[in-house]
Amino acid sequence: MKEKCTVEMMSNRAELAIQLLQEVLDQHGTLSNLAEVTMPSTREDLLYLQRAILTGSTIDSYPDESSVLDVVSALPSGQIWATYIRG
């Protein structure tokens, strides 16, 4: 059975999604800088991860195509972000 979303849950998820992007930008400066030092699909996977945080779901990790798990694990809240990634 799907969990009913409350306004408070949605607000918390939005705050987490904002925090993820802020931590990425604090560490890499820009998404372009991130793209220069990571695998090709990493930037896209960060957007999918942000959506997963907003919806309370997860994304799959494909280490041969994306270094999203490595990138987020290195962030201050890496343990939180990793819970939204399978694989």
Structural domain contains residue 3: no
Structural domain contains residue 1: no
Angle at alpha carbon of residue 81, lines to 77 and 85, rounded to 5°: 155
- Interval 53-72: pLDDT, tens: 999 999 999 999 999 999 99
Structural domain contains residue 43: yes
- pLDDT band, very low/low/confident/very high, at 1 (cuts 50, 70, 90): very low
Structural domain contains residue 2: no
Structural domain contains residue 40: yes
Task: Write the DSSP string, 59-81.
Answer: EE--TTT--HHHHHHTSTTHHHH
Q: pTM of this prediction?
A: 0.89
- Interval 3-42: pLDDT, tens: 677 899 999 999 999 999 999 999 999 999 999 999 989 9
Structural domain contains residue 69: yes
Q: What is the pLDDT of residue 41?
A: 94
